Amino acid sequence: MHDKSLRELATGLRNREFSSSELTRHFLDRIGQHDSSLNSFVTLCEAEAMKSAEAADRLLAEGDGHVLTGLPLAHKDIFCTRGVKTACGSKMLDNFIAPYDATVVEKLSAAGMVTLGKTNMDEFAMGSSNETSFYGPVRNPWDTDLVPGGSSGGSAAAVAAGLVPVATGTDTGGSIRQPAALCGVTGIKPTYGRVSRWGMIAFASSLDQAGVFTRSAEDAALVLQAMAGFDERDSTSLDREVPDYAADLSASVEGLKIGLPSEYFSAGLDDTLRDVVDQAIKEFERLGAEVREISLPNSGLAVATYYVVAPAEASSNLSRFDGVRYGYRADNPVDLEDLYKRSRGEGFGREVQRRIMIGTYVLSAGYFDAYYLKAQKVRQLISDDFRKAFESVDLILGPATQGPAFRLGDKLDDPVSMYLNDIYTIPANLAGLPGMSVPAGFVNGLPVGLQLIAPWFAEGRLLSAAHQYQQVTDWHRRVPGDFS
């Protein structure tokens, strides 16, 4: 059952080939059997999952329910889940049981989906390799000596290994597209504001956006449809109608103008990966797309800009973890100052502390103009580059990463080389644009992804272009040998 798409599983449920309870049991058993080699799950909700599956079966028996009713899913452990531990990869929240559901969780549960558990992630979503988690690294199902990418590495690895057919993620600078690329699954980050951030633990609020990992664009369309939409509890969520993504998948690529940013094809890109992207471009041309070169002249400034803006927002968001209200509290503090210092010093890991220090520095009175304000101006230039590009093209195509997955430990002591991992994904976050990574081939036996970026609110165009590509290629159907 784990080799089927969501659409096929939904049909199987309706045709009584299997029940939601059987399906749920099957995936829970696979997690039990395989996750010790991956560490992709941090919490399993076995009893609750079986209960929701039974409820879904009753609905289905009456001929009711949503297309997603009875289908299993996992949530990145950044989404609050009522009554269930929500630790965000951190010792700071290791004792935190969320008192409410995030909007994303609420919506997918309301559609009848069955939550199997919570997936491992980089601490507070800071990382590109899933090695900063308090719960240990996640391993890549294609080669367990390699990283799965981060920060939503648990979700990407779980979907790639067939431990769950769909998992949620968040993308602040690439945390859906980068691990999707390195694990060989489909990942979409919608337009900023398309999906509610309510109940999603905040990292950098002007960049964070929820999305999903699935095997195919068609599956992503079904789930995104149920996740997206206005939420009055999130003041940045956008009050715009959500189109019927699944119904629009058949839109042809014929005549679609695709831009290739010259800056994304320059030095630093692995040669074999470049060949993979070239093959994908040819596929789109065969499908009738018109491909042309474009320029995003300020994209070279994106990583530096991001590493001012994101830590600044993180330092502010993470100030709430003070050892007083909830989360980790140091033992036997001598006074309030000691309580703050030791709770934060012991509760946060190294990378999170580094971000808090960078953020506090760039926001300090003496450096605010030189760093933070400057970064906001460059952010606008990056956004303007895209606005201009989209005057002449409908979609932008490029690599999602510079190369395939790297070895665990390789970049852990070199933060700058780790930060450079997201060189192709960060620009879309700074501009708030929707982006997607689609499996496009292999480099040294490891999956790599093709990145598609669309104008604001054009997730539908992204999904249909990816779907058309997946009709003529089978990269998204490849599964890692040990998990077939």
Instruction: Give CA–CA dist 24/117, Å, rounded.
Output: 11
Closer residue to ligand GLN in complex, CB, 126/296:
126
Q: Does 151 bind ligand GLN (CB under 6 A)?
A: yes
Binding segment for ligand GLN (CB under 6 A), chosen from 2-10, 32-40, 98-106, 167-175, is: 167-175
Compute the least distance from the CB of residue 412 to ligand GLN, in Å.
13
Closer residue to ligand GLN in complex, CB, 175/186:
175
175 carries an active-site annotation:
yes
Instruction: Give CA–CA dist 118/142, Å, rounded.
Output: 21
Q: Does 276 bind ligand GLN (CB under 6 A)?
A: no
Q: Does 171 bind ligand GLN (CB under 6 A)?
A: yes
Closer residue to ligand GLN in complex, CB, 231/422:
422
Closer residue to ligand GLN in complex, CB, 12/137:
137
Region 402-421 residues binding ligand GLN, contact defined as CB under 6 A: none
Closer residue to ligand GLN in complex, CB, 151/451:
151
Q: Does 422 bind ligand GLN (CB under 6 A)?
A: yes
Compute the least distance from the CB of residue 229 to ligand GLN, in Å.
22
What one-character-per-residue DSSP string does 174-197 give? STTHHHHHHHT-EEEE--TTSB--
96 contacts 63 by C-beta, under 8 angstroms: no
Tell which one of 130, 172, 237, 464 touches ligand GLN (CB under 6 A).
172
Region 122-141 residues binding ligand GLN, contact defined as CB under 6 A: 125-128
Compute the least distance from the CB of residue 72 to ligand GLN, in Å.
24
Instruction: Give CA–CA dist 421/412, Å, rounded.
Output: 12
80 DSSP 8-state letter? -
Give start and end residues of each alpha helix (H) in 228-301.
Answer: 271-286
Compute the least distance from the CB of residue 292 to ligand GLN, in Å.
29
| 319, 153, 172, 199: CA torsion to nearest 10 | -60
Catalytic residue among 128, 133, 151, 155: 151
The tokens for 283 are 């596929």
Compute the least distance from the CB of residue 189 to ligand GLN, in Å.
9
Region 177-206 residues binding ligand GLN, contact defined as CB under 6 A: 203
Q: Does 437 bind ligand GLN (CB under 6 A)?
A: no
DSSP H or E stretch at residue 24: helix 20-34
Compute the least distance from the CB of residue 169 to ligand GLN, in Å.
9
Amino acid residing at 358? I
Q: In what order do the strands lie in the sheet with 446-453?
A: 41-44, 114-119, 72-76, 167-170, 210-214, 186-189, 435-443, 446-453, 395-399, 257-261, 290-294
Binding mask 374-403 for ligand GLN (x = CB under 6 A): ------------------------------
Binding mask 27-66 for ligand GLN (x = CB under 6 A): ----------------------------------------
Q: Which residue has the tokens 């079986």?
A: 50
Compute the least distance from the CB of residue 167 to ligand GLN, in Å.
15
The count of chain residues that interact with ligand GLN, using the rule CB under 6 A, is 13
433 contacts 455 by C-beta, under 8 angstroms: yes
Q: Which residue has the tokens 């491992």?
A: 120
Q: Give Cβ neighbours of residue 187 (< 8 Å, ≥ 6 apart).
A: 152, 156, 169, 171, 176, 177, 179, 180, 181, 211, 212, 213, 214, 220, 436, 437, 449
Instruction: Give CA–CA dist 41/158, Å, rounded.
Output: 8
Backbone torsions φ then ψ of 310, nearest 5 degrees:
-65, -50
Q: Which residue has the tokens 């629009």?
A: 248
Tell which one of 53, 181, 310, 396 touches ligand GLN (CB under 6 A).
310
Closer residue to ligand GLN in complex, CB, 207/249:
207
Q: Which residue has the tokens 């089927």?
A: 4
Q: Does 120 bind ligand GLN (CB under 6 A)?
A: no
Catalytic residue among 21, 52, 90, 175: 175
167 contacts 159 by C-beta, under 8 angstroms: yes
Q: Does 9 bind ligand GLN (CB under 6 A)?
A: no
151 carries an active-site annotation:
yes
Compute the least distance from the CB of residue 471 to ligand GLN, in Å.
29
Instruction: Give CA–CA dist 148/212, Å, rounded.
Output: 16
Catalytic residue among 5, 19, 76, 216: 76
54 contacts 21 by C-beta, under 8 angstroms: yes
Catalytic residues: 76, 151, 175
Q: Report the interface residues with ligand GLN, using CB under 6 A.
A: 125-128, 151, 171-175, 203, 310, 422
